[in-house]
Amino acid sequence: MPINYNEKNKTFKLDTENSSYIIQICEENYLVNLYYGAFIPDSCVPNRSRRATNASFSPVNPRCGFSPDSAPMEYATSGAGDFRISALEIQNSNGDSVTDIRYSGYKIYDGKNEIPMIPSSYVNDKGEAQTLEIYAKDEVTGAAVTLYYSVFSKYDVIARRIRVTNDSSEKMRIERAFSLCLDLPDMNFDLISLYGCHAKERNIERRRLAHGIQGVSSRRGSSSHNQNPFIALAQNGADEEHGDVYGFNLVYSGNFSALAECDFNSTTRVIMGIDPDTFSWELDSGEFFDTPEAIMVYTSFGIGEMSRLFHRFYNNNLIRGRYKTEKRPLLINSWEAAYFDFDADKLVDFAKEAKKLGVEMLVMDDGWFGKRNNDCSSLGDWYVNEDKLKGGLGNLIKRVNDEGLKFGIWYEPEMISPDSELFRAHPDWCVHVKGREPMLGRNQYVIDMSRKDVRDNIWEQMYKVLSENNIEYIKWDFNRNISDAGSVLLPHERKKEFFHRFALGTYDLMNRLVTTFPNILFENCSGGGGRYDPAMLCYSPQIWASDNTDPIDRLYIQFGTSMCYPASSMGAHVSANDRTGYGTKCNVARWGTFGLELDPTYLTDEEADIIRDEIKEYHKNYELVNRGDLYRLISPFENPYRAAWQFVSPDKSRTMFTLVTMRKEFRPHLIVKLRGLEPDAYYKNERTGEVLSGALLMNAGLDLTNTAGQTGESTVIYFDKVE
């Protein structure tokens, strides 16, 4: 079984196929972490040092030498002798914030339960996972804490979260409640994170851990363009295929923190969860609070394998619904083709030309509703602008369907324009604080999703449009961060609950939509890739990776995104920029969901032929990209000239290799070694017919000296296993 309790040693052992995680109940019912790393058969390992230093505190028998400030605490609390960053801090009715939880019991069961109101991973059947609940309590405050560990053995994944229950008769306030805490026995790691901004999302940054606190966070009201809720600790010197790597990803779309502290003992503590600086939560007697889930993986096979573990797990146990497995329609989006300047006839013309290319869906982006002809009005007025769409939406959809294309539509439900009927009727519905004029961002306010009456209004407007029309896709956008954070309905003692309540409100509306309209394909967007997180993947199986569709810039964005997120989730389109030819644009976009972001009526015959052929290749290799294993071969973050990557089918029978030259390099030779193949099998080059062994392709490599040598050129090579 993946989870076992050893009564003699008082240890819980959590095993995946390739990793082990061991917790021990020690002196005075403290919980400590003994081990997390490569699989070991033992139920206990030699005790990790937890002795007090001269300046540390020991709440138990001084002769045992135990100190929370030195021990590898399983879930660290605040104010009770552990001076490192804490995962939990609770203020009781007296105003004291000392928190000290001790073990009180456990339960092990097959499967995994959902988290009320919060998206999370799931099991397809109970045998896929096993869950451990460890119960702990602070006897002084009455705070009862449940630590959840769900072990997905096949994927080397442990999903973690906590629940805090007020078992006292008085109110208490949660000041911080992180989803995971992990103490590692050394600090010989590099911290990997993903930073960026609009149109330059998820750049890979790697830096050596140092003594003190370091990490990433967002306080923007979303997971953000600027930092992603992902970090990894990679053993010094670890690369794509070698070395110990720990990966952490928070299933949450709001403010977060992911921190690592290296202490005086040169050990490392990692915590990840809701950002505590913009959060608190009041619990009345008997109430409970659930944190979002954190996904944790370990591998000894390098950064690439860490990524593949996340990819496989998210494809199987996070993404859900019809389009988890069903082939998604290839779409063309109207935004970069027309922006706000379109009518029904122009969209039908797009559909006619796109159909000739092999496109399967037309998406009408921003500008179809209210009096929306620019970005200065009408958000919140989700009714059809019939001055623009003569004959109404139903007539337009029928015309597009008659051309053989499905129809999709754009929404931004969490926003409201000051120039809108909804705002004039309900000016208090925008996010604001009393006495301050709320700031505009992109000429719009954020609507207060923490309020049920607001969500009900948006739901009713959306339901009317969606239920009356044959709409098969929604692009859900979120184009600005949250400033002036506050809700008029929250009393002063609950003001810091706003950001989390906003996230819960968004989840509530999204859940209503995907439940009521299970056949609609949702694609999340946030000014591009500003809310690219696992929680959004629970509702939308694909996310628009960036508003930047330049193929060379996209190499960086897609390499960074792939550190944690699968190709099946990565919204990637071909646009009309001139930096490269259409062949390279298509080769880069085929890494992700693939689609068009251009006016097809402007294509030359030659361009149309290239795109038509590339779309055939996309359809042919859909499963390879969406379900295959990704290998990053040459990273643009490390090589200024070229980028290369490879997809390998799960059964290793087919592989697709892609090389892009970002800028010409004067060098005599280019050898690229493939990965992930069977060394004893033979593979046929689909283009040349040459048959080579997997061992040769992986060890000797491909001589690409005369391939894709000029700036902006690219090549794709397919190999099929010879039976």
The count of C-alpha atoms lying within 13 angstroms of the C-alpha of 469, restricted to the half-sphere facing its C-beta, is: 26
Q: Identify the band that residue 134 occupies on the pLDDT scale cut at 50, 70 and 90.
A: very high
Q: Which of 24-28, 294-298, 387-391 has the lowest mean pLDDT?
A: 24-28
Verify that 53 and 195 share a domain, yes or no. yes
Verify that 376 and 247 share a domain, yes or no. no
Verify that 499 and 617 share a domain, yes or no. yes
Number of domains in the chain: 3
pLDDT tens digits along 414-426:
999 999 999 999 9
Verify that 111 and 84 share a domain, yes or no. yes
Pairing of strands 570-571, 542-544: parallel
Verify that 310 and 330 share a domain, yes or no. no
- Residues 438-454 have a mean pLDDT of 97
- Residues 142-169 have a mean pLDDT of 98
Domain end call among 317, 340, 366: 317
Residue owning tokens 């092999």: 358
pLDDT at 278: 98
Q: Which range marks the domain in which residue 253 is found?
A: 3-317
Q: What percent of the chain has pLDDT over 70?
A: 98
pLDDT at 54: 57
- φ and ψ of 12, to 5 deg: -105, 130
477 in active site: yes
Verify that 352 and 300 share a domain, yes or no. no
Verify that 530 and 587 share a domain, yes or no. yes
547 in active site: yes
The count of C-alpha atoms lying within 13 angstroms of the C-alpha of 451, restricted to the half-sphere facing its C-beta, is: 19
Instruction: Report angle CA 652, 655, 656 to the nearest 5 degrees.
Output: 160
Verify that 209 and 157 share a domain, yes or no. yes
Mapped to the 3 state alphabet, what secondary structure does 506-522 carry?
A: HHHHHHHHHHHCCCCEE
pLDDT tens digits along 621-661:
999 999 999 999 999 999 999 999 999 999 999 999 999 99
- φ and ψ of 494, to 5 deg: -115, 15
CATH number of the domain residue 654 falls in: 2.60.40.1180
Q: Identify the band that residue 709 occupies on the pLDDT scale cut at 50, 70 and 90.
A: confident
Verify that 306 and 173 share a domain, yes or no. yes
Q: Which of 40-49, 90-99, 458-467, 490-499 has the lowest mean pLDDT?
A: 40-49
CATH number of the domain residue 141 falls in: 2.70.98.60
Q: Identify the band that residue 208 occupies on the pLDDT scale cut at 50, 70 and 90.
A: very high
Find the helix or strand (DSSP H, E) in which 223 lies.
none
Verify that 279 and 361 share a domain, yes or no. no
pLDDT tens digits along 12-36:
999 999 999 999 999 889 999 999 9
Domain end call among 554, 586, 621: 621
Verify that 360 and 306 share a domain, yes or no. no
pLDDT at 459: 98
d(CA 315, CA 46): 37
| Active-site position among 69, 381, 477, 629 | 477
d(CA 261, CA 263): 6
| Active-site position among 365, 448, 533, 547 | 547
Domain end call among 574, 589, 621: 621
Q: Does 345 score more than 90 pLDDT? A: yes
Pairing of strands 542-544, 521-524: parallel
Verify that 41 and 132 share a domain, yes or no. yes
Helical H runs in 358-497? Answer: 392-402, 421-425, 452-468
| Mean pLDDT of all residues belonging to the chain | 96
Angle between helices 582-589 and 551-561 (to 10 degrees): 10
pLDDT tens digits along 41-98:
987 777 776 655 555 666 666 556 688 988 999 999 999 999 999 999 999 999 999 9
CATH number of the domain residue 403 falls in: 3.20.20.70
